[in-house]
Amino acid sequence: MIRDAEGGALLDVKAVPGARRTEIVGPLGERLKVRVSAPPEDGKANKAICSLIARAAGVKPNMVEVVSGHASPTKTLRVAGVTSTELGDRLGVG
């Protein structure tokens, strides 16, 4: 779910866009399930997911980016400036 990468950590997520509320649900298999109220159009859901993870991880929003799965519910995010252990602890999945 979380692994170290150059300059930060990679996080695998299962995204549910268009949900009633924005929240981190918790582990779902090998991914972190997240719900966002933003619709899956024009990158709005991806931006909301990055913002949610940034808030939870205690980093600036521009430090989180989608690196794969832009148009898919299964995504990989890069969170800069943290190790996989730090990210897991901050997200409560370590």
Q: How do residues 3-55 score in pLDDT, each as one tens digit?
A: 999 999 999 999 999 999 999 999 999 999 999 999 999 999 999 999 999 99
Global pTM reads 0.94
The residue type found at 81 is G
Domain boundaries, the chain: 2-91
Pick the CATH number of 2-91 from 1.10.10.10, 3.30.750.24, 3.30.1200.10, 3.40.50.2000: 3.30.1200.10
Distance CA(28)–CA(76), nearest Å, equals: 14
Sign of the four-CA dihedral 6, 45, 55, 62: positive
Q: How do residues 48-67 score in pLDDT, each as one tens digit?
A: 999 999 999 999 999 999 99
